[in-house]
Amino acid sequence: MHHEHRKKLLTLFKDEKESILFLKGGTVSHRYDTDFEYPFRQESNILYLTGAEEPDMSAVIHTGTGEFTLVIPRRSAQYAVWMGVVRPAEQYRELYGPDHVIYDDELPDWLKKLGPDTVHCLPGAGEDIRQFGLTPETGHLKDALAWCRVLKTDEEIAFLKTAAAAANQAHLEVMQAVYPGAFEYEMKAVFDYHTIRHGQIHAPYSGIFASGPGSAILHHTGKHRRLGDGELFLVDAGSEYHGYASDITRTYPVNGRFTPLQADIYDIVLDAQTSALNMIRPGNKMEDVHLAAARAIVTGLRDTGLVKGGTDELMEKNVFALFFPHGLGHFLGLDTHDVGGYPKGTEKIDRPGLRFLRARRIFEAGMVLTIEPGLYFIPALLEPALGDKTVSGYLNEKRLPELFDFGGIRIEDNVIVREDGYENLTTVPKIRQEIELVMG
């Protein structure tokens, strides 16, 4: 798989016969000035090109010959005492299939002898190249890698499906385990248990386990609140398999039964997601799909009496952005918010609700992305709007303040763009009746 990734990347450098691509791998991080090590996770681009999951490695790829050189650290016997077996160079050749293996202390002389015309590297590695006495070119490799990583191969999709399967099960287990009086961190523990027991040690992101008003905080980090009877619980969490991420969100009542208001708001979000999913096919644009979801949200809010006016006017006045302030979704792959959302030269849309789109692309078969509309009652957005004469006339000034503690609802699925539409990797129940049955 990684050999094919390198071949794909080299097609973008076919006119350069004596240049090299230099990629620096990740290193172990410590907590401040202690010897406490954070779990190591390889830098995504070098993982994409080599599959090497160990720290302190680099890769050099020759643009003319395609030869791949793996640069490994020279470990001491003391390293073996504390950290484990020190592999010989030949074993790295067997593991990752490089054409050459050299030690990191050999790299400066090796590069000088090679004498490349150009050294393409990512911006963060520029200083390393300068220390070797060479001039880095940092303007092309990042975009080239993003272009390569956007369209997933069958092997990559298999990894993404494995990550999704573990997260699907973990979400279902949390849905069945939640109860009034539990702490948010207890539910995170349930989720983590069911991903780790599948061997998926790394989390692709810290996860959101937000109850009550916290469910309206888009990147909620606290996990110490006790879940209240009658509140909503929003769980945004995923897992990672060989670096490939899943990212799923479900929102449901802590006590297992939606109130009439919760049911109305939930169905608005589900309708928005359904509208978006029905537009996932090659040729459509992310911003158009986002606006279709936003339209469903303001229409639903109008039908419940929380906003006033015609749908076209509500869209024109950007009223949707007061309730749906984030982007519809993002690419998914070796990073949760995967690369390639904004190709070179693509500008962000300067419009409320669309400024935070993480991708402006025309869909192509092989893209993998999240679809995650949300509807939130955020005082920081609604209070100023209620006092703004340009939009307050569209808002129910009596009912909305009563919902400042409601929180929010988000529903997020992971999908593959296929030639004839899409394939949904997410199986966690999202129909209200199914959720209540599972929680019953």
CATH of the domain at 235: 3.90.230.10
**13 shares a domain with 41:** yes
Residues 33-56, mean pLDDT to the nearest whole number: 94
Say which range, 33-47, 280-294, 327-341, has the weakest mean pLDDT. 33-47
Nearest CA among 370, 368, 412 for reference residue 171: 412
Say which range, 77-81, 291-295, 319-323, has the weakest mean pLDDT. 77-81
**385 shares a domain with 307:** yes
Instruction: Select which of 194, 290, 302, 326 is catalytic.
Output: 326
Cα–Cα distance, 386 to 384 (Å, whole number): 5
405 catalytic residue (yes or no): no
**170 shares a domain with 106:** no
pLDDT band per the 50, 70, 90 thresholds, residue 84: confident
Cα–Cα distance, 430 to 69 (Å, whole number): 48
pLDDT of residue 83: 83
**139 shares a domain with 78:** yes
**174 shares a domain with 56:** no
Question: pLDDT for 218-275, tens place per residue?
Answer: 999 889 999 999 999 999 999 999 999 999 999 999 999 999 999 999 999 999 999 9
pLDDT of residue 73: 94
326 catalytic residue (yes or no): yes
Point out the domain boundary residue: 149, 164, 183: 149
pLDDT of residue 127: 87
**180 shares a domain with 142:** no
Q: What percent of the chain has pLDDT over 90?
A: 89
242 catalytic residue (yes or no): no
Instruction: Select which of 43, 335, 412, 413 is catalytic.
Output: 412
Structural domain span for residue 37: 2-149
Residues 184-210, mean pLDDT to the nearest whole number: 95
pLDDT of residue 86: 87
412 catalytic residue (yes or no): yes
**25 shares a domain with 140:** yes
Residues 45-71, mean pLDDT to the nearest whole number: 96
pLDDT of residue 124: 87
- 111 contacts 71 by C-beta, under 8 angstroms: no
Instruction: Select which of 16, 240, 372, 413 is catalytic.
Output: 372
Residues 4-31, mean pLDDT to the nearest whole number: 94
- Tell me the CA end-to-end span of the chain in Å, nearest whole number: 44
- Res 391 pLDDT > 90: yes
Place of tokens 């998926």: 200
How is the beta sheet containing 421-424 ordered, strand by strand? 368-371, 413-418, 421-424
pLDDT of residue 80: 81
Question: pLDDT for 99-136, tens place per residue?
Answer: 999 999 999 999 999 999 999 999 988 888 898 888 89
* Helix, strand, coil abundance in the chain, percent, nearest 5: 40, 15, 45
Cα–Cα distance, 249 to 246 (Å, whole number): 10
Cα–Cα distance, 414 to 250 (Å, whole number): 12
6 catalytic residue (yes or no): no
Instruction: Select which of 48, 410, 413, 422 is catalytic.
Output: 410
**431 shares a domain with 289:** yes
Instruction: Select which of 43, 156, 231, 247 is catalytic.
Output: 247
Instruction: Select which of 241, 376, 394, 422 is catalytic.
Output: 376
Cα–Cα distance, 433 to 252 (Å, whole number): 11
pLDDT band per the 50, 70, 90 thresholds, residue 407: very high
**163 shares a domain with 77:** no
Helix or strand or coil: residue 416? Answer: strand
Mean pLDDT computed over every residue of the chain? 95
**172 shares a domain with 129:** no
337 catalytic residue (yes or no): yes
Phi/psi at 425 (5° precision): -90, -5
Instruction: Select which of 15, 33, 35, 154 is catalytic.
Output: 35
Point out the domain boundary residue: 114, 149, 184: 149
**325 shares a domain with 231:** yes
Instruction: Select which of 43, 236, 240, 335 is catalytic.
Output: 236
- Res 85 pLDDT > 90: no
CATH of the domain at 132: 3.40.350.10
335 catalytic residue (yes or no): no
pLDDT of residue 309: 95
Instruction: Select which of 30, 219, 351, 355 is catalytic.
Output: 219
pLDDT of residue 155: 97
pLDDT of residue 247: 98
Looking at the structure of the chain, the number of domains it has is 2
**170 shares a domain with 136:** no
- 244 contacts 159 by C-beta, under 8 angstroms: yes
